[in-house]
A and B are shown apart, each in its own frame.
Chain A
Amino acid sequence: MEALYKEYQDKISGKLLSDIKEAMPEKYTKSQLKEILDLVAEEYEVSKIEAGESVGLVSAQSVGEPGTQMTLNTFHFAGVAEFNVTVGLPRIIEILDGRKKISTPMMEIYLKGPYAKGKDIKKIAESIKQTEFRDFIREISLEITEGILEVTIDLDKLKRVDLKEVKLMKILEKALKGFTLKQDKNKVIIKTKGKQESISELYKAKEKIKSIYVSGIKGILQVLPVKREEEFIIMTAGSNLKEIFKLDYVDTDRTLTNDIFEIRDILGIEAARQAVINEVFKVIENQGLNVDIRHIMLISDTMSFTGKVRGITRYGVVNDKSSVLARASFETPVKHIINAALIGETDPLSSVVENVMINQMIPVGTGLPKLVAQINKKEDKKKK
Chain B
Amino acid sequence: MITIAKKTPEVDVSKHILVPKHIKLNDKEKASLLEKYKITLEELPRIFIDDPAVANLELTTDDVILVKRPSETAGITDFYRRVVK
Contacts and interface: CB of A to CB of B under 8 A. Distances in A.
B16 A252 contact: yes
A266 B13 contact: yes
B67 interface: yes
A123 B46 CA distance: 43
Interface string A124-167: 10010000000000000000000000000000000000100000
B50 to A, nearest CB: 10
Nearest to A216: B4
A48 B68 CA distance: 20
Contact of B18 (A13, A124, A246, A267): A267
A343 to B, nearest CB: 21
A51 interface: no
B18 A275 contact: yes
A274 interface: yes
Interface residues of B, number: 36
B48 to A, nearest CB: 5
B26 interface: no
B22 interface: yes
A11 to B, nearest CB: 13
B19 A271 contact: yes
Most chain A CB inside 10 Å of its own CB: which residue of B4, B67, B77: B4
State which size class the interface on A falls in: 35 or more
B32 to A, nearest CB: 14
Contacts of B45: 301, 304-307
Contacts of A271: 13, 16, 18-19, 53
A79 interface: no
A17 B13 CA distance: 30
Given A15-B74, A270-B67, A307 B19 contact: no
Contacts of A245: 11
Contacts of A333: none
A247 B3 contact: no
B72 to A, nearest CB: 6
Nearest to B65: A270
Contacts of B12: 252
Contacts of A247: 4-7
A267 B52 contact: yes
Contact of A18 (B4, B19, B75): B75
Given A268-B52, A268-B54, A307-B46, A162 B2 contact: yes
Contacts of A285: none
Interface string B1-38: 11111110001110111111010000000000000000
A253 B15 CA distance: 6
Interface string B51-85: 11110000000000001010111111100010010
A246 to B, nearest CB: 5
Contacts of A297: 71, 73
A209 interface: no
Contacts of A120: 2
A309 B32 CA distance: 29
B53 A16 contact: no
Interface string A288-317: 000001100100010011111000000000
A270 B69 contact: yes
Contact of B19 (A14, A16, A127, A268): A268
B59 to A, nearest CB: 13
Interface of B: 1-7, 11-13, 15-20, 22, 45-48, 51-54, 67, 69, 71-77, 81, 84
